[in-house]
């Protein structure tokens, strides 16, 4: 199991979530179950899925949750854009949030690429081991 608190992408996503919660407190009351809820859920899904993936045994499962995180981060980015267009976020706050999402994207992208590379090594190693076992078994059978 990986220690998610040491994963930089998780830290950035966690910080982004806290800021999203702070900024959405001033959204109109009628948006409580609409945009406010959607934006908050999309943002906390990013670090939550990194945590869940980090607890998984296989690289494939880990990647699955990292991909979900990436999708949630895209949603967060769109909801920030929408909140700005609706006038719920001023330009400065929206730009700061977009900057944070871009930074989280870059870090998450790097993490995904590193895990994909590592997963590729495991696939290659598994193929070699399987081949060697098959050759060994074939030699044992008369």
Domains and CATH numbers, the chain: 4-114 (1.20.1440.60)
Instruction: Give the tens place of pLDDT for each residue, 9-64.
Output: 999 999 999 999 999 999 999 999 999 999 999 999 999 999 999 999 899 999 99
Q: Give the number of residues written for the chain.
A: 142
pLDDT (0 to 100) of residue 55: 95
Instruction: Give the tens place of pLDDT for each residue, 103-112.
Output: 999 999 999 9
pLDDT (0 to 100) of residue 129: 58
pLDDT (0 to 100) of residue 139: 64
Bin 56: left if φ > 0, else alpha if -120 < ψ < 50, else beta: beta
pLDDT (0 to 100) of residue 119: 82
CA dist 72 and 38 (Å) reads 10
pLDDT higher than 80, residue 138: no
The whole model's pTM is what?
Answer: 0.83
């Amino acid at each position: 199991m990986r220690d998610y608190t040491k994963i930089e992408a998780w830290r950035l996503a966690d910080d982004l979530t806290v800021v999203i919660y702070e900024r959405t407190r001033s959204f109109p009351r009628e948006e409580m179950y609409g945009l406010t809820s959607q934006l908050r859920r999309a943002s906390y899904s990013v670090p939550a899925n990194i945590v869940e993936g980090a607890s998984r045994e296989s690289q494939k499962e880990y990647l699955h949750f990292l991909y979900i995180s990436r999708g949630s981060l895209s949603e967060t980015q769109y909801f920030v854009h929408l909140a700005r267009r609706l006038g719920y976020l001023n330009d400065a706050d929206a730009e700061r949030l977009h900057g944070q999402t871009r930074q989280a994207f870059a870090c998450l992208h790097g993490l995904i690429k590193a895990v994909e590379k590592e997963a590729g090594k495991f696939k290659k190693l598994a193929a070699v081991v399987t081949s060697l076992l098959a050759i060994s078994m074939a030699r044992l059978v008369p």
